[in-house]
Amino acid sequence: MSVYDKLDLERYSRQIPVFHMNGQIRLAESTAAVVGLGGLGSLISYYLAAAGVGRLVIVDGESVELSNLNRQILYETEDIGLPKAVLAAKRLKGLNPNVDVVPHPEPINRSNVSDILNGVDVIIDALDDWSARLILDEFAEKTGVPLIHGAVDGLFGQATTVVPGKTPCLACIAPKRLGNRGCRAAVGPVVGLIASLEALEAVKILSGLEPSMAGYLVVVDARDLHVDLIKLEKVDCDTCRSRIYS
């Protein structure tokens, strides 16, 4: 049976006029990795499953806490103490049983990144610390896989798309002092704005459309409802110099 024969056309009937049948088939044949299943990742993975991405690799080593529930919409109060990756896989399969969901209930690190992300078509950064983000950045630069970045702090958010070999990498814009402090302040609707930008960018890439944030940093100030689009410039960083693909 072909991918076309297995497509639930009614499920995707409102988006097929946008992506056309070829784009929908491309989504069904693609693999996306969502690294981090907190506020950003729970929304991103939900949108990608709903859109019909064929295979989702989801990565998070944490369990649900009460403080998560103002923004992490995949989880419920009764889930407190349970592993996010396992719960997320169950909820995503419930939304769209046609999607193959591969959960990894462990934090991403340099020892496991290659095994976990092997064969993916796009990587979505839904993390909350720069040290872990730069592990994804290094993998993306070595393999040529596009990387979509997003981050939120209070009423502010940012997002960009890294296309290895064409745009600045994340290391080019990383803060000089890296931190693992996690999320200190996050408002649900602001997280939703950035997650939606990341999910949309992933769907566009996987369906064959051009990414909109490649080479640009989108900065959202939700306090004043102000959006800036900042053109990024390459710097001679160690990650860019380590590219091993042609």
Mean per-residue pLDDT, 220-235: 91
At 175 the pLDDT is 79
Q: What is the mean pLDDT of the chain?
A: 92
Measure the CA–CA gap between 105 and 59, rounded to whole angstroms. Answer: 6
At 7 the pLDDT is 79
The label of the residue with tokens 């806490």 reads 65
Mean per-residue pLDDT, 119-128: 97
Structure confidence at residue 1 as a pLDDT band (50, 70, 90): very low
DSSP state of 186: B
Q: Lowest mean pLDDT of 36-50, 182-196, 213-227, 231-245, name the range.
A: 231-245
At 245 the pLDDT is 37
Distances (CA, A) of 229 to 148, 209, 232, 246: 16, 20, 9, 30
Structure confidence at residue 205 as a pLDDT band (50, 70, 90): very high
- Catalytic residue numbers read 183
Whether pLDDT at 238 is above 50 = yes
Measure the CA–CA gap between 102 and 224, rounded to whole angstroms. Answer: 39
Element (H, E) at 103: strand 100-104
Q: What are the tokens at 160? A: 């960009």
At 233 the pLDDT is 86
Whether pLDDT at 85 is above 90 = yes
Whether pLDDT at 138 is above 60 = yes
DSSP 34-57: EE--SHHHHHHHHHHHHHT-SEEE
At 244 the pLDDT is 42
Listed by start position, the domains of the chain span 17-241
Mean per-residue pLDDT, 241-245: 49
Question: Could you read off the pLDDT of 146-193 as tens digits, one per residue?
Answer: 999 999 999 999 999 999 999 999 998 887 766 555 567 889 999 999
CATH of domain 17-241: 3.40.50.720
Q: Lowest mean pLDDT of 121-125, 172-176, 216-220, name the range.
A: 172-176
Mean per-residue pLDDT, 60-74: 96
